[in-house]
């Protein structure tokens, strides 16, 4: 089993990459959906401010990795699973602790200028309206450690040109991860992936989890 944590700056093309996985029948866990559900359950209006407020008050109440804990508890059993929306180092650390070498962090990167060109075309209400504002918003996004996750990603997709090019790369990568490993138990160590980044170490400091102890996914207790 491989759990892909997908990350990237706003406008990098992360959503499109998730779509490709979804179309291939891969289960997607959107961390934002859990927050959205909670906002709804509390009877609040679904807007940016309420989402951030609920997400952060839960982090303060139960720890910075609370959304990661909740995600791991409901994770699907499937050869590949995608987790979308992780933005803090604490979350990735928790995923790594629980999932060991099953975890792969995949970052989608586009230059700020390319992201700005995309964002300025999509006309979303709460998007930045100038390039300077995008830089400012980037600074806010990076506060939680998003930059550190990207800088230490196991795999990276560059998305500077067309949607089709990104989709091709993503499909290729998922097929590569999903293909049976020639070495059996040693999984992916030393194997060259197609899209940059080796799919994680096998053994060394953290032994890969075997199917036998995968039940730990459901044994996580809050707090």
Phi, psi (rounded to 5 degrees) for 134: -60, -40
For residue 205, state whether it binds a copy of itself (rule: CB under 8 A).
Answer: yes
Dist. CA 189–CA 104, nearest whole Å: 12
Q: How many residues sit in the footprint of a copy of itself (CB under 8 A)? A: 41
Closer residue to a copy of itself, CB minimum distance, 10 or 54: 10
State the minimum distance, in angstroms, from the CB of residue 192 to a copy of itself.
6
State the minimum distance, in angstroms, from the CB of residue 173 to a copy of itself.
12
Question: What are 148's two structure tokens?
Answer: 């550190």
**Sign of the torsion angle spanned by Cα atoms 40, 99, 101, 188:** negative
Dist. CA 149–CA 128, nearest whole Å: 23
For residue 110, state whether it binds a copy of itself (rule: CB under 8 A).
Answer: yes
**Residue labelled with tokens 């706003």:** 10
Closer residue to a copy of itself, CB minimum distance, 111 or 179: 111
Site residues for a copy of itself, window 31-90 (CB under 8 A)?
none
State the minimum distance, in angstroms, from the CB of residue 165 to a copy of itself.
11
State the minimum distance, in angstroms, from the CB of residue 42 to a copy of itself.
32
State the minimum distance, in angstroms, from the CB of residue 37 to a copy of itself.
29
Closer residue to a copy of itself, CB minimum distance, 63 or 196: 196
Closer residue to a copy of itself, CB minimum distance, 38 or 99: 99
* Residue 81 CB partners (closer than 8 Å, separation 6+): 1, 2, 3, 4, 26, 27, 28, 29, 75
Question: What are 216's two structure tokens?
Answer: 């730990």
User: How far, in Å, are 16, 22, 72, 188 from residue 19 at the CA level?
Assistant: 5, 5, 21, 25
Beta pairing partners, 30: 84
For residue 193, state whether it binds a copy of itself (rule: CB under 8 A).
Answer: yes
Kindly write out the interface string for residues 138-167 of this chain, putting x where it contacts a copy of itself by CB under 8 A and - elsewhere.
Answer: xx--x--xxxxxxxxxxxx-x-xx------
* Residue 65 CB partners (closer than 8 Å, separation 6+): 88, 90, 91, 93, 94
State the minimum distance, in angstroms, from the CB of residue 43 to a copy of itself.
36
Q: Kindly tell me which residue out of 16, 198, 209, 214 binds a copy of itself, with binding defined by CB under 8 A.
A: 198
**Residue labelled with tokens 């400091």:** 205
**Residues of the shown chain interacting with a copy of itself in the complex, contacts defined by CB under 8 A:** 9, 109-114, 116, 130-132, 135, 138-139, 142, 145-156, 158, 160-161, 189, 192-193, 196-198, 200-201, 204-206
């Amino acid at each position: 089993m491989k759990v892909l944590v997908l990350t990237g700056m706003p406008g990098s093309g992360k959503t499109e990459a998730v779509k490709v996985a979804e179309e291939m029948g891969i289960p997607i866990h959107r961390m934002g959906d859990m927050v959205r559900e909670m906002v709804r359950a509390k009877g609040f209006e679904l807007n940016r401010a309420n989402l951030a407020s609920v997400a952060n008050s839960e982090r303060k109440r139960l720890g910075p990795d609370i959304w990661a804990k909740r995600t791991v508890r409901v994770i699907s059993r499937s050869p590949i699973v995608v987790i979308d929306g992780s933005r803090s180092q604490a979350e990735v650390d928790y995923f790594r602790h629980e999932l060991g070498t099953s975890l792969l962090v995949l970052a989608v990167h586009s230059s700020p200028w390319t992201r700005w060109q995309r964002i300025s075309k999509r006309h979303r209400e709460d998007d930045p309206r100038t390039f300077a504002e995008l830089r400012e918003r980037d600074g806010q996004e990076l506060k939680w450690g998003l930059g550190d996750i990207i800088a230490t990603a196991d795999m990276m997709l560059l998305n500077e040109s067309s949607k089709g090019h990104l989709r091709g790369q993503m499909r290729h990568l998922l097929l590569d991860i999903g293909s049976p490993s020639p070495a059996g138990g040693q999984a992916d160590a030393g194997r060259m992936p197609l899209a940059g980044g080796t799919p994680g170490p096998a053994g060394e400091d953290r032994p890969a989890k075997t199917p036998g102890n995968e039940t730990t996914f459901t044994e996580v207790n809050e707090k």
